């Protein structure tokens, strides 16, 4: 993409109405726009980064057998009355609104009810099971405080998968496969090391649920980390019983702030019984489907990457999530040589299906380099009279600052290679 | 996709609470699920068809220079107060809801206000123009009656593009290019012949806006069609003046029912002046940006395809929109030969990156064929003891019923070729 075609502008100053680092930087770099507290629009570079996350997560959900759907935001209150979660006292983040013809509808804060209800039209016998369905869908949560940028939104895109199984053993088996999928996702977006599977309260059906928590001072949660075992325990289940079950000693745990970047939960038959989702088992008996739910907020994941990877010059994207792997920066010089070389380079990349961000704007080098650092693409190459004379490209790694002199083939391999 | 992995079930009977053909068929075929009147969830096959539409529309929007973004559904009322459209008397389809901390927000029924407001952070001088931004985003409209299935939703995905230009001439030029893009979209989804550019009221800025209307008895609109000129006039502007300007005679126009499948509109400076979106022109003077808006509802387009193409056996998809181009139907026979041949065929397709729907379910031929007709994929090939003995594949065209005997290379060319 030519930067002259990108309508977004960068800013040198932090927006005054934001306190969270992720919001400040993403707004300054033109990735997002604030509509109101906790509600952000995605501008071109922000949307590209989000789509990269989606592609990674979709691949992992498909790999465990998930099928993609897209449920509505507006919710029929019937299903929520049945589950007991329609009341604002039970679920305190509802946005509700009125139909013109009369009757109240809600904006989905989550989709267990809707997914269970629709499955009643499709589930008949044990032969239909297991079913794994997921979506990337907007959730609405009426948060009283929304000061953390994309970490806690009133409107945000979540990947949520729901599993329907015919036995607890089948649920347990799938649940373990989802742990693997979640680990691969955090690994692929560069958060593997910092992200800990964290034991949390399991509700009525099972003893524990699991959160994925990324260490960060920006986090709202406190967890107790065992670095050796690469796991953690949530405050609410930090009891002698838990420690003994997990084989942990209190004094080997480190208290840390962390961001919850995902959670997986065995629901059991809570929703299937409440909403009447039954199947006929091998003996002809009706049984409630045994469910699990597996959430992952995309905006929060993006914000977490910003919180833990960015530096004082701006954003720093891992290659897997960056809107583009390469920032091709033309610096105006004497005559047309550099401009022509930069154009040719960009067109060659495009022709080979390799998308870079190409700064073709007639601005001073200093302003361009500051912008480049702020946008944070993984690699930067400068095309100027000076670099042309050098005969090799100077490739700068945004995260490490390291500069490598490479020829074009090496550059392409580093930026676009496997 | 193996049909045994598809959780959705088909139904032989129409749902009792639907009167629209598109809703009846899409529900029976398991493409959508009704959450409440005018609100539908997309099941796997419905989502795949919608994604095909998105791909076509995105390509055409990118071709005219559009940049993709994703704006929020929750709307800050400030911008709407400024444009004068916050009041329910002015805009009668608002869904509004309350923030917990106090204050009302709306659910976007359209995005002119939000798009104009965010552009204030990015538009400085005439050098930044033109800007063309689009999105695929959910709109919410509190329709009193919502009985037309996906034709009139309370929640639906729309492609909306907004153009910002520095002169009326530049707007006019882009507007004409968008006409071309819209025509190509209807052509590509198989509605070119039936879809008429239709002159409609232009509001305060220009004399006419344009709708794209597809002839169908299911339509809510009445238009007056000139078949020779392949254009139409909307009821509200059918005056002597309009006829004379367009060089049409009243008696050559045919009164027809039609579905509005798109509309494009020159907004002028209505929103830029109301919200204060100015740029500095070449003379250093502040000027309001000159805007246009270009809408296209994806669910409605999908429903229109269903209304005009389906037959009494079910859905009929054009290849460009079908979830899969080919339905590979295994019919159980004596021994394992047919099953093995069908499996091998499917695996070969997959290995070559060719996605088909593979009916691998151990059901009777009659049930499978009825399902196949109901799902409406463009081509069907049956793998049975009989077809194996024939040595060639029997390829059935769903739309025409035509059967062709082909070898595997010919089949692949017909179904997956350019």
Task: Give residue-wise pLDDT tens across range A21-67.
Answer: 999 999 999 999 999 999 999 999 999 999 999 999 999 999 999 99
H/E stretch holding A56: helix A44-63
Q: What are the structural domains, with CATH classification, of chain B?
A: 3-309 (3.30.930.10), 326-416 (3.40.50.800)
Residue among B70, B142, B105 at smallest CA distance from A154: B105
Strand order in the sheet with A95-98: A74-75, A104-107, A95-98
d(CA B252, CA B243): 11
Under an 8 A CB cutoff, do A7 and B142 touch?
A: no
What's the Cα-to-Cα distance from A53 to each of A188, A321, B21, B58, rounded to whole Å? 9, 6, 38, 20
Residue B91 at interface with chain A, using a CB cutoff of 8 Å? no
Question: Which positions in chain A touch B99 (Cβ < 8 Å)?
Answer: 142, 154
H/E stretch holding A113: helix A112-119
Question: Which positions in chain A touch B123 (Cβ < 8 Å)?
Answer: 7
d(CA A103, CA A97): 9
In 10 A of CB B408, how many CB atoms? 13
The three-class DSSP label of residue A387 is: helix
Angle subtended by helix axes A298-309 and A44-63, to nearest 10: 110
Under an 8 A CB cutoff, do A74 and B9 touch?
A: no
**For the segment A171-224, what is each residue's pLDDT rounded down to a tens digit?**
999 999 999 999 999 999 999 999 999 999 998 888 999 999 999 999 999 999
A150 contacts: CB under 8 Å, gap ≥ 6: A22, A23, A26, A32, A40, A156, A299, A300, A302, A303, A306
What's the Cα-to-Cα distance from B68 to each of A46, B59, B194, B272, B298, rounded to whole Å? 10, 11, 29, 20, 16
DSSP alpha helix (H) spans, A282-379: 298-309, 337-351, 365-375
- Copy the structure tokens of residue A208: 């524990």
- The pLDDT-based confidence of A417 (bands split at 50, 70, 90) is confident
- Copy the structure tokens of residue B107: 């659910």
- The pLDDT-based confidence of A418 (bands split at 50, 70, 90) is low
Q: Please give the mean pLDDT across all residues of chain B.
A: 96
B111-127: average pLDDT: 97
State the complex-level ipTM: 0.97
- Copy the structure tokens of residue A241: 């019983």
In 10 A of CB B117, how many CB atoms? 25
Residue B72 at interface with chain A, using a CB cutoff of 8 Å? yes
B247-269: average pLDDT: 97
C-alpha dihedral sign at B409, B414, B415, B418: positive
Residue among B184, B182, B185 at smallest CA distance from B198: B182
Under an 8 A CB cutoff, do A99 and B47 touch?
A: no
Angle subtended by helix axes B21-28 and B298-309, to nearest 10: 90
Q: What is the 3-state secondary structure (H, E, C) of B311-357?
A: ECCECCCCCCCCCCCEEEEECCCCCCHHHHHHHHHHHHHHHCCCCCE
H/E stretch holding B391: none
Under an 8 A CB cutoff, do B122 and A40 touch?
A: no
B107-113: average pLDDT: 98
Phi and psi at residue A373, in whole multiples of 5°?
A: -65, -40
8 Å CB contact between B185 and B60: yes
H/E stretch holding B61: helix B44-63
Residue A137 at interface with chain B, using a CB cutoff of 8 Å? no
∠ CA A252-A256-A257 to the nearest 5 degrees? Answer: 165
Under an 8 A CB cutoff, do B143 and A74 touch?
A: no
8 Å CB contact between B380 and B315: no
Strand order in the sheet with A393-397: A357-359, A326-330, A379-383, A393-397, A403-406
Q: Is A141 left (phi over 0), alpha (psi -120 to 50) or beta?
A: beta
A143 contacts: CB under 8 Å, gap ≥ 6: A38, A93, A152, A153, A154, B100
For residue B26, the model assigns a pLDDT of 98
**For the segment B37-68, what is each residue's pLDDT rounded down to a tens digit?**
999 999 999 999 999 999 999 999 999 999 99
Rg (CA), chain B: 24
Percent of chain B with pLDDT over 70: 100
d(CA A269, CA B297): 38
What is the number of residues in chain B? 418
8 Å CB contact between B25 and B15: no
For residue B418, the model assigns a pLDDT of 63
The three-class DSSP label of residue A39 is: strand
d(CA A378, CA A79): 46
In the numeric block, the tokens 């392409």 are attached to: A412
8 Å CB contact between A212 and A195: yes
The three-class DSSP label of residue A374 is: helix
Residue A272 at interface with chain B, using a CB cutoff of 8 Å? no
What is the number of residues in chain A? 418
For residue B145, the model assigns a pLDDT of 87
Residue among B297, B293, B274, B298 at smallest CA distance from B132: B293
Residue B131 at interface with chain A, using a CB cutoff of 8 Å? yes
Question: Which positions in chain A touch B40 (Cβ < 8 Å)?
Answer: 72
Residue among B19, B45, B16 at smallest CA distance from B372: B45
């Amino acid at each position: 993409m030519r930067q002259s075609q990108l309508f977004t502008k960068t800013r040198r100053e932090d927006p005054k109405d934001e306190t969270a680092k992720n919001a400040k930087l993403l707004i300054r770099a033109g990735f997002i726009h604030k509509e109101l507290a906790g509600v952000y629009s995605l501008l071109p570079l922000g949307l590209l980064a989000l789509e990269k996350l989606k592609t990674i997560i979709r691949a992992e959900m498909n790999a465990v057998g998930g099928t993609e759907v897209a449920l509505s935001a507006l919710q029929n209150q019937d299903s929520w009355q049945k589950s007991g979660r329609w009341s604002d006292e039970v679920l305190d983040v509802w946005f509700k609104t009125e139909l013109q013809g009369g009757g109240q509808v809600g904006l989905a804060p989550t989709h267990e009810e809707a997914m269970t209800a629709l499955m009643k039209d499709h589930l008949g016998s044990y032969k239909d099971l297991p079913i794994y369905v997921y979506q990337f869908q907007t959730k609405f949560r009426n948060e009283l405080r929304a000061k953390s940028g994309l970490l806690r939104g009133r409107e945000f895109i979540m990947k949520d998968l729901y599993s329907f199984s015919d036995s607890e053993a089948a649920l347990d088996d799938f649940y373990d496969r989802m742990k693997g999928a979640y680990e691969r996702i955090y690994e692929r977006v560069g958060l593997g090391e910092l992200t800990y599977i964290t034991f949390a309260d399991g509700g009525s059906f099972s003893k524990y649920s699991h959160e994925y928590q990324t260490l960060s001072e920006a986090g709202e949660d406190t967890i107790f980390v065992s670095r050796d075992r690469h796991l953690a325990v949530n405050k609410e289940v930090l009891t002698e019983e838990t420690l003994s079950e997990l084989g942990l000693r209190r004094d080997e745990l480190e208290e840390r702030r962390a961001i919850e970047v995902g959670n997986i939960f065995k629901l059991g038959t809570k929703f299937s019984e409440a909403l009447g989702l039954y199947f006929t088992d091998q003996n002809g008996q009706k049984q409630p489907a045994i469910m699990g739910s597996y959430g992952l907020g995309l905006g929060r994941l993006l914000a977490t990457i910003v919180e833990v990877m960015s530096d004082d010059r701006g954003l720093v994207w891992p290659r897997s999530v960056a809107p583009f792997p390469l920032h091709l920066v033309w610096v105006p010089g004497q005559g047309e040589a550099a401009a022509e070389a930069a154009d040719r380079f960009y067109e060659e990349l495009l022709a080979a299906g390799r998308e870079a961000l190409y700064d073709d704007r007639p601005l001073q080098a200093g302003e361009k380099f500051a912008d480049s650092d702020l946008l944070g693409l993984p690699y930067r190459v400068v095309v100027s009279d000076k670099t042309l004379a050098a005969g090799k490209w100077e490739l700068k790694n945004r995260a490490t600052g390291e500069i490598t002199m490479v020829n074009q083939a090496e550059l392409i391999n580093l930026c676009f290679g496997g």
